[in-house]
Structure 1
Amino acid sequence: MAAFDPVADRTALQASLARPDTRLVVCLCAAWCGTCREYREAFDALAARRPHLCFVWVDIETHADWLGDFDIENFPTLLVQDANSAPDTAQFFGPLLPTIGILERMLDGATLGTGAVQAPELRPYLSAV
């Protein structure tokens, strides 16, 4: 399965987020960005290989209000957040080289933090779209 679109896949996304142990993996990109368009295929393929995680593709121009005071200046920007992370924190939030292997290694736990990185709180928006 490809990454969720927060509008088109609303029902399935809400069901995924309702699971108490859902790790959220969000790619924040822009439709006009060529790097993002190229990265999307690999991100979708990774989502298909890891169906136990909740992968979401968010266009920052369509959903800019979800980001609050956070500015996304580099693409792709990724957010990785465990279900038990405190609001406004994540294991990872920031730009990432557009090489899917880097994200794969992060998700395997090799380079993720403990959940103390400041990040936008996207779960309420993704659950209510």
Structure 2
Amino acid sequence: MFCQILRDADKLDIFRVNVETPLEEILNVTTEDIETSPVSKKVLADAILCRNCDRRFVATPADHIVSHISLVFGLVYDESIRIVKEQGYLDQLLAFRSKNRETNDAMEQVRGAVHTFFSHRLP
């Protein structure tokens, strides 16, 4: 149980860091790379199925964003999910907009998956 609490707390902190630290710095890429990169099919498939993304398939900056968002699906405790919603960091990650139309379409699907996940986990 303690390990699960610790892991949930770590995920909450990852959301915070991904908002407070520029993605260019976290991923060591340019803004252009972030704004134009695609989301890989396998990464998107995991997210749509409300699963943590398999890190072996994370290849692009947009994949990293989706994989960080997908950490929400691994939260064990409903209280952790309430805290995620309250803090707003996940919402800021979900607000990512790309210059790549397919990436924007993928992000819309990810937002839908997160919304569905929340509606099933919280009353």
Larger Rg: 2
Higher strand share: 1
